[in-house]
Structures are given as structure tokens and as C-alpha cells.
A = this chain, B = another copy of it.
Amino acid sequence: MDNVSLMLDTYPRDLGTIDREKLIECIQACFECAQVCTACADACLSEDHLPNLTKCIRACLDCSDICSSVGNVLSRHTAYDANLVRAVLLACEAVCRACAKACKPHARHHEQCRICFEACRRCAAACRELAATLG
């Protein structure tokens, strides 16, 4: 998603003190994670051992919803409101960590859960790191 960076360059006002590189990484990680979680939930729905995977599916659906909305919030430059951005980043980190935890036990058997675990962990880290720069 190279456009995330290009679009940030076009912003006609000052971005404030937010870390530009970490913001780009976090927006990309949110949209990436939203898509992966939607696809992971769907692939799990096609598995034979479906009853073992319901916790994972629910976590993926929650994570996809939150990552998608947080990706949108971060794509708007309301970054001047550090309290708001921090609160949504903390929520996104919590949801991504919960989803990573739910996917991890299946990562060895189901490739979709392995990729999803990685995407969630990356997104949780990106949220945490961006939040840390907000002061």
C-alpha cells in the first residue's frame, strides 16, 4: 500500500508532532490485518475441525472490524487529538493481541492462522509503537 505514504505527502497542513514513518506503518498494518482477518475467518469456516476454531473466527471478525475503522481514523489527520488517537490505538492493540493469541494454537496446522497470527502481532506492535510517540 504505497499510496498510504503518497497520500500523507499531499496533506496540505502540518501533521503536528506525530511520527510520520510509524504512522504510515500503522495505517498499512491496520488495513493489511483487516483483510487477513476477514480471510482467516473465512478459511477457518471451511475447515473440517470447525468447532475448534470458533474462538479464532470470532477474534478474527472483531479484529477485522476494529482494524478497519482504526485504519480510517489514522488516515484522517485528527492526530492533534492525542487522547483520541491513543485510545483507539490501545483498543486496536488489544484486539490484535487477542486475535494473535486465538490464532497461535492453530498456526502449526492451519497456514491461514499462521499468517493471521503474524499480521496481528505486527499490527499490535505498530499500534503500540505509534501510541508511544504521542507523548
Contact = CB atoms under 8 A, between A and B. Distances in A.
Contacts of A90: 87, 90-91
A47 B51 CA distance: 9
B69 A69 contact: yes
Interface of A: 1, 3-4, 6-13, 27, 31-32, 34-36, 38-43, 45-47, 50-51, 54, 57-59, 61-62, 64-66, 68-73, 75-78, 81, 83-84, 87-88, 90-95, 98, 110-112, 115, 119
21 contacts: A3-B35, A7-B39, A10-B110, A11-B42, A12-B43, A13-B46, A27-B35, A31-B31, A35-B71, A38-B72, A39-B76, A42-B76, A50-B51, A62-B73, A62-B76, A62-B84, A65-B68, A65-B72, A73-B95, A84-B94, A87-B93
